[in-house]
C-alpha cells in the first residue's frame, strides 16, 4: 500500500518520474510497492516523489540496502526530497554545441562558464533555458567590452559564493529543523510536510535579501575604490602595479593556543570561542578592510589603508580580553588579485609574520612601520629568517603610544 501526502501536487507520468530518478519505470513500481517512495493521494507521481526516488537511486548506487532506505524514509531522513516541489521542473535543455550557436560563444567557453557556476560534466548535455539566458547575458557583456579574464573570475566568484550560501541554508535547516523533528518522533511524512512549509516560507525572502545585501556592499566597495584612487593620486603612489596586482595591507590573526583549548574544553566550546573572535574582528575592522577568508581559528584581512589596519590591530589587542588571546601579523606589499582572493609572496610573508608573533602581540614589517601614524610605537626585534624565505625580514612589535 502507498501512503498519502496531503499537500497539493502536480501529477507526473510514470515515465517522466522514471527519467528524473534515472531508473526504469518497473523499478519505481517496485519501490512504491515496498514502501520506499510514498506517493500522493490516489497514487499519483509528483515532483517530490520523483525527487525521493532519485535519492533512493543514489543510495542504492552507494550500496545501501532496501531495508535501511525504507527505515530512513519512515523516520523522515529523506524528507528533503519533498522540498523539490518548490523548484521549477527543469526543461529538456540543449547540448553545448547548440548553446554555443544560440549565444555566439565558443563551446569551450560555454563549458567553462557553466562549470564555474557549479554544473558537473554530465549536466552539460541538457543546458536548460534559464542557463541559456545567463549565457546570452555573458555574451552581451563580452560584446560590450567587458574583459574575458574578468568575466571568468567574476563567474567563478559568484558560483563559489552562492554554493556556500546554499550549502549553509541546507545544513542549518537540517541541524535546527530536520534533526529536531526526527528526534521528537514526528512521522516521516509529517516531517516532509513541515519541511516543505518552512522552506516555502524561507525561499521568498532569500533572493530579495541577497539582492539587497549585494547592492549595499557594491555601493560600499565602489565608494572605497573611488576614495582609494583619490588618496593615492594626492600622495604620489599607486595601489596598482602590473595588471591584476594590487598593493594592500594584509593581516593574519588567530587564537594562540587554540589546539590546547580544544583539548581542555572540547570542540564545541572551542568553536564558540572562534565564532566570538571572528565576530569581534568583523565588528571592529576599519571601513576599507574586510575578512577575505577564515581558516580554522585564523582570519585573513586585507585593507587599502595600512595605517588604519595597524591601528585596528593594536586597538583590537587592547579590547579583546577573552582567552586565548589573538596573535596578529601585518605586512604591506604587492599582491596578485584573483577571484576575490589575494595571492603571492607578500601574502605568504604576512602569514609567516603572524605565525612568529606571540599571544596578545601585533607583529609588523618595516613596510607597515613606514606607513603607520606617529601615534603608535614600534619596538624593533631585529632581522628574522622566516620559514620559507631566504632573506631576513625586519620585524617590529606595535604598541599604543602615550595617551
Residues 258, 276: Cα–Cα separation, whole Å: 13
**74: in domain:** no
Residues 261 and 396 in one domain: yes
Residues 174 and 255 in one domain: no
Residues 246 and 125 in one domain: no
pLDDT at 6: 39
pLDDT at 327: 95
Residue 73 backbone dihedrals phi, psi, to 5 degrees = -65, -45
Residues 79, 286: Cα–Cα separation, whole Å: 44
Is the torsion defined by CA of 124, 130, 136, 141 positive or negative?
A: negative
Residues 125 and 265 in one domain: no
Residues 181 and 244 in one domain: no
pLDDT at 5: 37
Residues 252 and 152 in one domain: no
- Contact (Cβ atoms closer than 8 angstroms) between residue 340 and residue 328: no
**320: in domain:** yes
Residues 280 and 348 in one domain: yes
Q: Could you list the pLDDT tens digit for every one of the 403 residues in the chain?
A: 333 333 445 688 899 889 888 899 999 999 888 888 877 777 888 777 787 888 888 888 888 888 888 888 777 777 666 666 666 666 678 889 999 999 999 999 998 898 888 887 777 888 888 889 999 999 999 999 999 988 888 888 888 888 878 878 877 877 787 788 778 877 666 776 777 777 777 778 888 888 888 888 788 777 766 665 545 544 555 554 566 788 899 999 999 888 888 888 888 888 888 989 998 998 999 988 889 998 888 999 999 899 999 999 999 999 998 888 999 999 999 998 887 889 999 999 999 999 999 999 999 999 999 999 889 999 999 998 888 888 899 999 999 987 6
Residues 6, 8: Cα–Cα separation, whole Å: 7
pLDDT at 3: 38
Range of the domain at 269: 238-400
- Cα–Cα–Cα angle for 193, 194, 200, nearest 5°? 90
**313: in domain:** yes
CATH number where 372 lies: 3.30.70.1230
298-303 and 393-400 beta bridge pairing: unpaired
Residues 178 and 271 in one domain: no
What are the distances in angstroms from CA 48 to CA 20, 27, 180? Answer: 11, 17, 22
Please name which of 387, 386, 253 lies closest in space to residue 328, comparing C-alpha atoms.
253
Count the neighbouring beta carbons within 10 Å of the beta carbon of residue 394: 14
- Cα–Cα–Cα angle for 304, 307, 313, nearest 5°? 100
- Contact (Cβ atoms closer than 8 angstroms) between residue 304 and residue 312: no
- Contact (Cβ atoms closer than 8 angstroms) between residue 17 and residue 45: yes
Residue bearing cell 510514470: 14
Name the grid cell of 72.
530512513
pLDDT at 352: 95
Residues 165 and 275 in one domain: no
Among 143, 165, 185, the domain boundary falls at 185
Give the DSSP letter string of 245-257. Answer: EEEEEEEEEEETT
Spell out the residues 6+ positions from residue 128 whose beta carbon is closer than 8 angstroms to its own. 90, 91, 93
**252: in domain:** yes
**381: in domain:** yes
- Contact (Cβ atoms closer than 8 angstroms) between residue 124 and residue 114: yes
Residue bearing cell 571572528: 278
Residues 123, 93: Cα–Cα separation, whole Å: 10
3-state secondary structure of 301: strand
**214: in domain:** no
Query: According to DSSP H, which parts of 174-265 are helical?
Result: 179-183, 188-235, 258-265
**10: in domain:** no
Half-sphere exposure of 42 (CA within 13 A, CB side): 10
341-343 and 298-303 beta bridge pairing: unpaired
Among 185, 204, 227, the domain boundary falls at 185
Residues 216, 213: Cα–Cα separation, whole Å: 5
pLDDT at 55: 84
Residues 178 and 296 in one domain: no
Spell out the residues 6+ positions from residue 150 whose beta carbon is closer than 8 angstroms to its own. none
Residues 246 and 379 in one domain: yes
Residues 74, 66: Cα–Cα separation, whole Å: 12
Q: How far apart are the first and last CA of the chain?
A: 80
Structural domain count, the chain: 2
**220: in domain:** no
Residues 278 and 374 in one domain: yes
Residues 134, 119: Cα–Cα separation, whole Å: 13
- Contact (Cβ atoms closer than 8 angstroms) between residue 311 and residue 287: no
Among 142, 160, 185, the domain boundary falls at 185
Amino acid at each position: 500500500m502507498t501512503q498519502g501526502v496531503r499537500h497539493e501536487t502536480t501529477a507526473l507520468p510514470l515515465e517522466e518520474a522514471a527519467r528524473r530518478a534515472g531508473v526504469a519505470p518497473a523499478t519505481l513500481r517496485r519501490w512504491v510497492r515496498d514502501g520506499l517512495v510514498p506517493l500522493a493521494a490516489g497514487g499519483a507521481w509528483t515532483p517530490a516523489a520523483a525527487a525521493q526516488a532519485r535519492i533512493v537511486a543514489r543510495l542504492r548506487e552507494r550500496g545501501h540496502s532496501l531495508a535501511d532506505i525504507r527505515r530512513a524514509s519512515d523516520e523522515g531522513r529523506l524528507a528533503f526530497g519533498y522540498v523539490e516541489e518548490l523548484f521549477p521542473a527543469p526543461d529538456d535543455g540543449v547540448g553545448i554545441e547548440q548553446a554555443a550557436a544560440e549565444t555566439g560563444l565558443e563551446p569551450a567557453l560555454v563549458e567553462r562558464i557553466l562549470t564555474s557556476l557549479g554544473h558537473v560534466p554530465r549536466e552539460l548535455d541538457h543546458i536548460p533555458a534559464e542557463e541559456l539566458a545567463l549565457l546570452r547575458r555573458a555574451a552581451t557583456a563580452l560584446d560590450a567590452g567587458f574583459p574575458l579574464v574578468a568575466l571568468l573570475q567574476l563567474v567563478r566568484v559568484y558560483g563559489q559564493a552562492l554554493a556556500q550560501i546554499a550549502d549553509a541554508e541546507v545544513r542549518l535547516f537540517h541541524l535546527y529543523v530536520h534533526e529536531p523533528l526526527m528526534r521528537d518522533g514526528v512521522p516521516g511524512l509529517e516531517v516532509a510536510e513541515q519541511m516543505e512549509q518552512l522552506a516555502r516560507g524561507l525561499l521568498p525572502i532569500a533572493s530579495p535579501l541577497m539582492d539587497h545585501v549585494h547592492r549595499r556592499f557594491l555601493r560600499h566597495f565602489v565608494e572605497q575604490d573611488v576614495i582609494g584612487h583619490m588618496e593615492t593620486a594626492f600622495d604620489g603612489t599607486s595601489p596598482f602595479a602590473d595588471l591584476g596586482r594590487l598593493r594592500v595591507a594584509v593581516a593574519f590573526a588567530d587564537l594562540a593556543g587554540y589546539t590546547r583549548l580544544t583539548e581542555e574544553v572540547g570542540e564545541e566550546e572551542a568553536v564558540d570561542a572562534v565564532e566570538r573572535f571572528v565576530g569581534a574582528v568583523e565588528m571592529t575592522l576599519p571601513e576599507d578592510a574586510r575578512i577575505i577568508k577564515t581558516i580554522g581559528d585564523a582570519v585573513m584581512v586585507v585593507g587599502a589603508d595600512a595605517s588604519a589596519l595597524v591601528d585596528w590591530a593594536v586597538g583590537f589587542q587592547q579590547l579583546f580580553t577573552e582567552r586565548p588571546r589573538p596573535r596578529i601579523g601585518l605586512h604591506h606589499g604587492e599582491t596578485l588579485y584573483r577571484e576575490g582572493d589575494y595571492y603571492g609572496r607578500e601574502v605568504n610573508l604576512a602569514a609567516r609574520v603572524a605565525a612568529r608573533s606571540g599571544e596578545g602581540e601585533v607583529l609588523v614589517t618595516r613596510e607597515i612601520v613606514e606607513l603607520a601614524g606617529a601615534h603608535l610605537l614600534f619596538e624593533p626585534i631585529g632581522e628574522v629568517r622566516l620559514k620559507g624565505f631566504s632573506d631576513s625580514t625586519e620585524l617590529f612589535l606595535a604598541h599604543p603610544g602615550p595617551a
